[in-house]
Structure formats: C-alpha cells, structure tokens
Amino acid sequence: MNNWFDTVILLDIDGTLFHTEIFRNNIFNKLYSYHTSGSKEAFLQQVRSIYKNERDKKITNPKTILKTINTQLQLNIPEEKLMELIIEGDNFFDGMYDEVEKTIQDLSKKGITLGILSTGETQIQKTKISSIQNFINEENIHIYNLKDTEIDQVFAKYKDMRIYVIDDFLDFLLLIKKKNNVVKTVWINRKNSALPNDIEDDYLPDYQIKTLDELLTII
C-alpha cells in the first residue's frame, strides 16, 4: 500500500492550474481603454504581436512586457499604474481550470504534500492560486524568476520523499529527467500536442495527462 505522506506533488501554475490566456486577455482588453484610435480587434492584434515578440526573447515578467506594450503603442499609462493593471482582482476570475479545485482537495485528503514550482512574479503567481491556498503550505511554494536553475535546491528539500513534478511545458520536464531520473514527471497536455520524435526514451515524461483530475489515477 502506498504511504501518501511520503509523496510530494510540485505543480506548475500557468497552463497547468491556471488558464493564463484568459488572464492575459482580461488585461489586454483593459489596455484598450487607453488607446486613442482604431478598432479593438486591430489593437488586440498589435498587443498580441508585441507580447509574442517579448516571449520569443525569453522575457516573461508581465510588468516588463506591459511596459514595452505601453511604449510601443504610445498608450501613455503612468508607470506606477502598470502593476495595478495586472493585479486587479477581476483579471483573475475564471482563470483556474474547472477540475483543479476539486482535484487539489482530493489529493490533499489523501495526505499528499502539495507544492508549487513556478516561474514568475511572486505576488501575481500567488494571486492566481489564491482559491487553493488553504491546501498548500507556504514553505512548499517555490516561485522564481526562472525555475529551471533552482531545481536542485527544491529537490534537496524533499530528498526523502517521492517527488512528482506536473508541468505543461515538456522541455522543463526533460530538463528534470536529465538532472534527476528518480523524480516522476507528469506532462499535462491540455492541447493534445504530439510528442516530438527526437526525444530519447530515457527522457520521456513518466506520465501524460489531459486534465489534472487524471493525477488521481496515477499517484
């Protein structure tokens, strides 16, 4: 029989627990009120294209990206207002995927330790998961500017436990497998993407799920 108290699940936030596209669109829609001319559709297209450019340059900080949008589209939003625009409460509504809260409750009932392993800005990331915060101890919340370089120290904290890492980003799971083959990786593949052909078998994720509730059949 499994002893759940030996088990820790480290969850990614964006794309795993949280529907980041909804959140992002909520913010982009608000930016439109600062725009002076042109249709909303054309405006949103410009915003999305700048956003994509920034992400391609590996820029992930939402405030930095918003600053670039503000400058390039000459929205003239005062700089101190930018962070406010991001963290306004209604941006986060409907952001959590439907099955997440119930699944987190069920996993927690088993006595499994739940944690977060996320890249991003702490205040924003914590607001995204506020509806499940009662099930996750502060000491198990790991949020970094770039989580890829912090893996070793996070795993060291749970060295006597069975670790599962859940992420929608395949490359991150491959990185974990290369560093530590004992850790179980679970790819949450909500968009039904195909696995690339060139991954060596040793580095394939241990499990693939489409929605988070499928975790209950694995762990």
Q: Which stretch binds Mg ion (CB under 5 A): 13-21, 39-47, 180-188, 209-217?
A: 13-21
Q: Which stretch binds Mg ion (CB under 5 A): 62-70, 130-138, 145-153, 164-172?
A: 164-172
Residue number, 15 or 30, with CB nearest to Mg ion: 15
Residue number, 12 or 121, with CB nearest to Mg ion: 12
Burial 71-87 (b: 16+ CB within 10 A, else e): eebebebeeeebeebbe
Q: Which stretch binds Mg ion (CB under 5 A): 15-23, 50-58, 77-85, 176-184?
A: 15-23
Contact between 95 and Mg ion (CB under 5 A)?
no
Residue number, 45 or 122, with CB nearest to Mg ion: 122
Angle 173-177-179 from CA coordinates, rounded to 5°:
115
Q: Which stretch binds Mg ion (CB under 5 A): 5-13, 23-31, 59-67, 148-156?
A: 5-13
Residue number, 82 or 173, with CB nearest to Mg ion: 173
| Backbone CA torsion sign across 184, 188, 192, 193 | negative
Candidates 51, 126, 143, 168: give the one binding Mg ion (CB under 5 A).
Answer: 168
Structure tokens at 204: 């394939």
Contact between 54 and Mg ion (CB under 5 A)?
no
Q: Packing angle between helix 62-72 and helix 79-87, nearest 10 degrees?
A: 130
Whole-number minimum distance, CB 158 to Mg ion, in Å?
A: 20
CA dist., res. 203 & res. 193, Å (int): 17
Q: Which of 166, 154, 171, 149 is nearest to 206 (CA)?
A: 166
Candidates 7, 8, 10, 14: give the one binding Mg ion (CB under 5 A).
Answer: 14
Contact between 12 and Mg ion (CB under 5 A)?
yes
Residue number, 54 or 168, with CB nearest to Mg ion: 168
Contact between 117 and Mg ion (CB under 5 A)?
no
CA dist., res. 65 & res. 51, Å (int): 7
Q: Alpha carbon of 156 to those of 10, 127, 138: distances in Å? A: 13, 27, 17
168: how many CB neighbours lie within 10 A of its CB?
19
Residues that bind Mg ion (CB under 5 A): 12, 14-15, 168-169
